[in-house]
Structures are given as C-alpha cells and as structure tokens.
Chain A
Amino acid sequence: MSAGHKPPLPARRALLAGGAAAALSVALAPGIRLIEIASGNEAPTLASSKVRWGMLIDATRCSADCDACVTACNQENHLPTAAAPTDPQWLRKVSLKDLKTGRSLSVPVMCQHCAKPACVDVCPTGASFKRADGIVLVDRHICIGCRYCMMACPYKARSFVHAPVTDQNPQVPRGKGCVEGCTLCVHRLDRGQLPACVEACPNQAMLFGDLNDPDSAISQRLRAIATTQARADLGLDTGVRYHGI
C-alpha cells in the first residue's frame, strides 16, 4: 500500500514532541494536519516488528469435551455458533486419533499466523496482509471476497461471510462478502489484553506471548518442552505451536 502505512519516522516524532509542532500545520492529507495528530494522540503505540505474537497450545492439557475457547471466540467476535455449514468459524476444536495405538487428543485450530503466509502470497488485492508484529489479518476495505486465500491456507483457517451481519462488536467490524479468520483478538491485544480464547481456557492449555522476547513465558516454555508446528513440512514458520500432538 502507500507510504501512509509505515510507522512515523523517529525524526518526525521528535519534531512533534518539541515546540516546533506549533509552527507545522502542514497538511498530511486533506483535513488532517500534523498539529492535530500531535495534540490529539501524543504517542500512538504502533504494531512493532520487535514483537512476534505467538501461542503455544498444550494438547496434553486440552480436554476433548471442553470448547470454552470456541465459545469465548464466538462471544468476543460476535460470530454465529456454527449452526449452518456456511457459518464462519475462526476457531474450531479438532479431534485426532492414532488408529494403531488408540491414543486420541483434541486441540483448538485457528489461523496459525505464519511468518510466510500463503494467504498473503495469493491475495490479488493486498487485502490479506501480515502486521509488523506477525498477526495475519484481512483488510475488509479492499477484500473482494474471491476466496483465493481460503484455497491457499493449509489449515482451513479462513471463512467466507455468506449472510448479512448486523450485530457486530464495534471493535470487530465484519460483514457479508469478505473472507475472515482469527485475528488473535488484535483489538484486545492493542489494549494490553489477552486473546479471548486464552483468557477463557480453564485448563491453561493455551499460552500466549512474544516469541521474540527470550524472557517471555512462552519462549521459556518453548525452550523447555518439545513442541511442533502443524504441517511444519510446509516451512511456513507458524506463530501457533503445539505440544503433545
């Protein structure tokens, strides 16, 4: 997209912080002036590439008959409860069974927030994109609903909205004709809250944090136990990791 998507340069910020801001009423875009940004929003926190958000899902703690994470996701994002086959699903429980040993397990599967997302590669409009902090999102303003990303995603993580939507969460706009998927509750994250599914898990089977910070709880746990990425063979470098699958 345009240069407007880049975070402000440090030099510009320093200039704004100083008294020079008053002298600068240069128009950035029609109706928007530097001075307005400086007075209205002194230090916007932007998504930073220093952070890479990730999640560790512990299959040994996830119980097969629990769907608290799915319910929390549906409630937070005002999603229908997957009654019809065409209803969108951002997070689903997947049950697996090893037929030879009889071992069975159940884990939540959602957008894996790949470092090299196939959905972003194939998107013809640039609507599918990866934020600086590793969260893969859909820009509904320019999504044309072609569903190419749904075909490309090996995790079946994206859904198409077939029906008109009226009861959106004001923080989570969503509507007919666009593709959507797990946002890692980006609206909560930007305000310092955990994703709804992680908060709701009664068994502490979901651990959320910064993969780039070696001291974060998730990094320490990833160092301590054996974990894997779903379809690691594809080399997508997923942000969501699993233990015990």
Chain B
Amino acid sequence: MRLAVSALILAASLAVWAAPVAAEVARPVIAVAPDQGSCLAPPEEMRRRHMDMLKHQRDRTLRDGERGARISLNGCIACHAGKESGSVAASRQDFCESCHAYVAVKLDCFECHQPKSGGLATGEKP
C-alpha cells in the first residue's frame, strides 16, 4: 500500500515537472539608472556582492562614525529610485523590490531605512 502511494506521488511530481510551465513568474524589471558611470562596480558584481558591501559599510558608519563613504545605501537610492514611486521598494516595479520578489529574498533594509530618494538633507527641517 505504502509503495503504491509513494509511486503515485512520484508519478504526480514527475508529471508536474515534465509539464510545460503554464504561467511563468514575471522576470524582474531592472530600470537602468540614469548615471551608470558612478556605480560602485559593474552590474554583474553589484548583483552578487551588494549585500556584502552594504553589510561591511553599515558597521563602519554606525560604529566608527565614517560618513561620506563611497558605499552608501542612500547613494544607491539616489540613483535607483523608481521614476513614478520615487522609491526603491514601494512596488514590484521598483529596483530593489523587483529582484528581491523574484528570488524570494525578504528585503529588510526598508523597515528602518527610508526607501525614497530626495529625502531631506541633514539639518533641514521637514
């Protein structure tokens, strides 16, 4: 009996695997930033390493007080914020959210950080 059930499950899973994908997951929308020259690294490297860069720099900024570093989340947002939303994470069309939704990696940065560009500079009152 158990063997029969296992065989059935195997057959079913193979059928799903073999069937053509009916509704493919939408590919991420990657809007090209207006100023490509000022990016930290080529796109291939940024895609693989941006999290390491940000994680390394966040400790230097917060704990050592290093300001104005080349690696900067606000710097990323300034270039990559969506034209319509003004944000990098407001919708599936926005730069960060687009890829993170596609690869199903939870994007925690913007639970604390401001995802919109054009934020007030230091010292300005809202």
Q: Do A and B bind each other?
A: yes
* A residues whose Cβ falls under 8 Å from a Cβ of B: 1-2, 4-7, 28-32, 36-37, 40-41, 44-47, 75-76, 78, 129, 131-133, 137, 139-141, 164-165, 167-171, 173-178, 186-188, 190-191, 193
Shortest Cβ distance from residue B65 to the other chain A in the assembled complex, whole angstroms: 3
Are A75 and B52 in contact, with the CB atoms below 8 A?
no
Are B112 and A178 in contact, with the CB atoms below 8 A?
yes
Chain A positions within 8 Å of B113 at CB level: 168, 170, 173
Which residues between 40 and 88 of chain B lie within 8 Å of chain A, taking CB atoms? Answer: 40-41, 45, 48-50, 52-53, 56, 58-60, 62-71, 74, 77
Q: Is B123 an interface residue (CB 8 A)?
A: yes
Shortest Cβ distance from residue B43 to the other chain A in the assembled complex, whole angstroms: 13
Q: How large is the interface on B (under 10, 10 to 19, 20 to 34, 35 or more residues)?
A: 20 to 34
Are A168 and B114 in contact, with the CB atoms below 8 A?
yes
Are B69 and A40 in contact, with the CB atoms below 8 A?
yes
- B123 contacts which of A30, A137, A188 (Cβ < 8 Å)? A188
Please provide the 4 A-B residue pairs with the shortest distance between their CB atoms, ordered closest to farther. A40-B70, A31-B49, A47-B65, A170-B119
Q: Is B6 an interface residue (CB 8 A)?
A: no
CA distance A137 to B64 in the complex (A): 11
Are A191 and B67 in contact, with the CB atoms below 8 A?
yes
Q: A30-B52, A76-B125 are in contact. Are A140 and B67 (CB under 8 A)?
A: no
Q: Is the interface of A mostly helix, strand, loop or mixed?
A: loop
In chain B, what residue has the closest Cβ to A191?
Answer: B122
Most buried by A among B45, B64, B119: B64
Are A41 and B70 in contact, with the CB atoms below 8 A?
yes
Give a binary string over B83-126; 1 marks a CB under 8 Å from any A CB, 0 the rest. Answer: 00000000000000000000000000001111000011011011
Chain A positions within 8 Å of B114 at CB level: 167-170, 173
CA distance A191 to B121 in the complex (A): 11
Shortest Cβ distance from residue B115 to the other chain A in the assembled complex, whole angstroms: 9
Shortest Cβ distance from residue B64 to the other chain A in the assembled complex, whole angstroms: 5
Most buried by B among A44, A188, A193: A44
- A37 contacts which of B52, B70, B111, B112 (Cβ < 8 Å)? B70
- B41 contacts which of A5, A31, A167 (Cβ < 8 Å)? A31
Shortest Cβ distance from residue B32 to the other chain A in the assembled complex, whole angstroms: 21
In chain B, what residue has the closest Cβ to A171?
Answer: B122
